[in-house]
């Protein structure tokens, strides 16, 4: 059943996406490079040695601007930027190797951006091979990358496949030409078809499509046509994201804001798309994510082993994520850290053998417990909430939960909270009621996208 219009209006408020807890704007920030290095050493002993290390590598360059995009990127056609940037990433990785004290086991690598396939196949091979030569690779590793269908060549796919990559995520967003023109991302269906078929020819076991609802000029008719084309290619996974409109942070979004659907229309787009996906045989994994039965995400959800981090939902057992590259974020269980966002400054710091870390957060015991229950709500749809957390909740939060229960969005039995099928539409709102950092701080200073 679709969420009632009055509930859409009530709950369509800015709240975190909870790819971390605490969410980045609410980090303490009391973290210098020496403290971070101590945390990394401890996390490697506690987590990394057993479960391995996962790497997120941020490759920020794009040849043209997609006006909807909220990622950290640099628009340029100058490919001379590739070499110095990759040299900086290798310097950063070499520094981490000195902290691990023994050869790390790699559980996963994800290349994100920007546009990773901005880089030549040869340069990507140079980067990844240097990392792999300094490490051991776990047998059940997951290597993935984000590709733009227009410039992900057969050579890119082939080179990365030889390095162990077997998962690729293509940013589709929408197939309608009017939508593509508005968001400045023109990519014909034939290019997507070619990129998808090339990946499968080369043995990629997982192809993901990123789709977005709430874009300018989208209607139920155009979205239906997009999903009909998606069905022809049948990707293994689909991320069906809500467009996040934050023109104060990303001014290019102002160019089309007069053509955006209203909140009721936007929610109808999601409900329609979700029903199409379920009819096509996909299973809902969690917030915005769907996969075919038998996919590792489906299996992880059923077994209760689904995780969520800055890369989204994952089935990887490793909870030690190291971010490399400008603006990358590391999540090592004991704390978080983010790199310098400005590319030239990031590169200069590493040339001078200085840490590129600009901010971070050391997890307290309270943070770890709150994080676990929020992750349980997002990944499992229910959580056993300790009594002391219930006691910490302000009266207004308890009243909000009681209202949600009356509205059929949550069910509470004792200390356990379960989110109903309808309630999953506002899972971010529900999680925010248990966000102890948000409760104790002035969250108005933070900028979040709307929940619906």
Whether the pLDDT of residue 246 is over 60: the answer is yes
**295 phi, psi to nearest 5 deg:** -65, 150
Annotated binding-site residues read: 56, 62, 66, 68-70, 113-115, 146, 173, 185, 210, 244, 329
pTM of the model: 0.94
Q: Cα(234)–Cα(282) distance, rounded to whole angstroms?
A: 10
Average pLDDT over residues 178-184: 97
Higher per-residue pLDDT: 65 or 286 = 65
**What does the pLDDT look like over 358-412, one tens digit per residue?**
999 999 999 999 999 999 999 999 999 999 999 999 999 999 999 999 999 999 9
Higher per-residue pLDDT: 338 or 286 = 338
**20 phi, psi to nearest 5 deg:** -150, 165
Residue 8 has a pLDDT of 87
Q: What is the CA radius of gyration of the chain?
A: 21
Mean pLDDT of the chain: 94
**How would you class 93 by CB atoms within 10 Å of its CB: exposed for 0-12, middle for 13-18, buried for 19 or more?**
buried
Whether the pLDDT of residue 321 is over 80: the answer is yes
Residue 448 has a pLDDT of 82
Annotated binding-site residues for S-adenosyl-L-methionine read: 56, 68-70, 113-115, 146, 173, 185, 210, 244, 329
Whether the pLDDT of residue 426 is over 90: the answer is yes
Residue 414 has a pLDDT of 94
Paired with 239 in beta bridges are 210, 289
Whether the pLDDT of residue 175 is over 80: the answer is yes
Annotated binding-site residues for [4Fe-4S] cluster read: 62, 66, 69
Paired with 383 in beta bridges are 417
Residue 444 has a pLDDT of 52
**What does the pLDDT look like over 36-62, one tens digit per residue?**
999 999 999 999 999 999 999 999 999
Instruction: Name the residue among 284, 312, 445, 431 with its Cα closest to residue 372.
Output: 431
Whether the pLDDT of residue 275 is over 90: the answer is yes
Tell me the domain boundaries of the chain: 24-362, 365-445
Whether the pLDDT of residue 5 is over 90: the answer is no
Whether the pLDDT of residue 67 is over 60: the answer is yes
Q: Would you put residue 280 in left (φ > 0), alpha (ψ -120 to 50) or beta?
A: alpha
Whether the pLDDT of residue 93 is over 70: the answer is yes
Residue 309 has a pLDDT of 83
Instruction: Name the residue among 325, 417, 348 with its Cα closest to residue 378.
Output: 417
Which residues have a Cβ under 8 Å from the Cβ of 385 and sit 6 or more positions away? 373, 415, 416, 417, 434
**Which one is the CATH code of 365-445: 3.90.1580.10, 3.90.550.50, 1.10.10.920, 1.10.1370.30?**
1.10.10.920
Three-state SS for the chain is CCCCHHHHHHHCCECCCCCCCCCHHHCCCCCCHHHHHHHHHHHHHHHHHHHCEEEEEEECEECCCCCCCCCCCEECCCHHHHHHHHHHHHHHHHHHHHHHCCCCEEEEEEEEECCHHHCCHHHHHHHHHHHHHCCEEEEEEEEEEEECCCCCCHHHHHHHHHCCCCEEEEEEECCCHHHHHHCCCCCCHHHHHHHHHHHHHCCCCEEEEEEEECCCCCCHHHHHHHHHHHHHHCCCEEEEEECCCCCCCCHHHHHHHHHCCCHHHHHHHHHHHHHHHHHCCCEEEECCEEECCCCHHHHHHHHCCCEEECCEEECCCCCCEEEECCCCEEECCCEEEEECCCHHHHHHHHHCCCCCEEEEEECCHHHHHHHHHHHHHHHHCEEECCHHHHHHCCHHHHHHHHHHHHCCCEEEECCEEEECCHHHHHHHHHHHCCCHHHHHCCHHHCCCCECC
The CATH fold of domain 24-362:
pyruvate-formate lyase- activating enzyme (3.80.30)
Residue 451 has a pLDDT of 80
**What does the pLDDT look like over 116-164, one tens digit per residue?**
999 999 999 999 999 999 999 999 999 999 999 999 999 999 999 999 9
């Amino acid at each position: 059943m679709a969420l009632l219009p009055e509930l859409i209006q009530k709950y369509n408020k800015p709240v975190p996406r909870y790819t971390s807890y605490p969410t980045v704007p609410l980090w303490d920030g009391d973290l210098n490079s020496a403290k971070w290095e101590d945390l990394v050493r401890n996390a490697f002993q506690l987590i990394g040695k057993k479960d391995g290390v996962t790497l997120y590598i941020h490759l920020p360059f794009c040849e043209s601007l997609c006006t909807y995009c909220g990622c950290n990127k640099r628009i340029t056609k100058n490919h001379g930027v590739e070499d110095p940037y990759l040299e900086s990433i290798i310097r950063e990785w070499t520094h981490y190797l000195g902290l691990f004290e023994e050869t790390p086991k790699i559980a996963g690598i994800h290349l994100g951006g920007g546009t990773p396939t901005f880089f030549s196949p040869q340069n990507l091979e140079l980067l990844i091979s240097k990392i792999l030569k300094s490490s051991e690779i776990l047998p059940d590793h997951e290597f993935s990358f984000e590709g733009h269908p227009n410039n992900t060549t057969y050579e890119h796919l082939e080179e990365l496949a030889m390095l162990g990559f077997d998962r690729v995520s293509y940013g589709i967003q929408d197939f309608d030409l009017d939508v593509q023109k508005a968001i400045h991302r023109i990519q014909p269906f034939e290019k997507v078809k070619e990129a998808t078929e090339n990946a499968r020819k080369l043995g990629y076991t997982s192809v993901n499509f990123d789709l977005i609802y709430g874009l300018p000029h989208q209607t139920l008719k155009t979205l239906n046509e997009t999903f009909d084309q998606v069905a022809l290619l049948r990707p293994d996974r689909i991320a069906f994201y809500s467009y996040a409109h934050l023109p104060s942070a990303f001014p290019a979004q102002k160019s089309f804001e007069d053509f955006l659907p209203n909140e009721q229309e936007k929610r109808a787009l999601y409900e329609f798309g979700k029903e199409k996906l379920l009819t096509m045989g996909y299973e809902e994994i969690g917030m915005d994510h769907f996969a075919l039965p038998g996919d590792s995400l489906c299996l992880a959800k059923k077994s209760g082993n689904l995780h969520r981090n800055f890369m989204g939902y994952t089935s990887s057992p490793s909870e030690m994520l190291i971010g490399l590259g400008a603006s990358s974020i590391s999540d090592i269980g004991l704390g978080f850290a983010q790199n310098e966002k400005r590319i030239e400054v990031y590169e200069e710091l590493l040339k001078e053998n200085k840490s590129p870390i600009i901010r971070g957060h050391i997890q307290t015991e309270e943070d770890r417990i709150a994080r676990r229950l929020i992750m349980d709500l997002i990944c499992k749809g229910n959580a056993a909430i300790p009594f002391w957390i219930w006691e910490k909740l302000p009266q207004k939060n308890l009243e909000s939960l009681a209202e949600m229960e009356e509205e059929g969005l949550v069910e509470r039995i004792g200390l356990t909270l379960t989110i109903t099928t309808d309630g999953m539409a506002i899972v971010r709102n529900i999680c925010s009621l248990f966000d102890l950092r948000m409760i104790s701080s002035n969250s108005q200073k933070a900028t979040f996208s709307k929940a619906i």
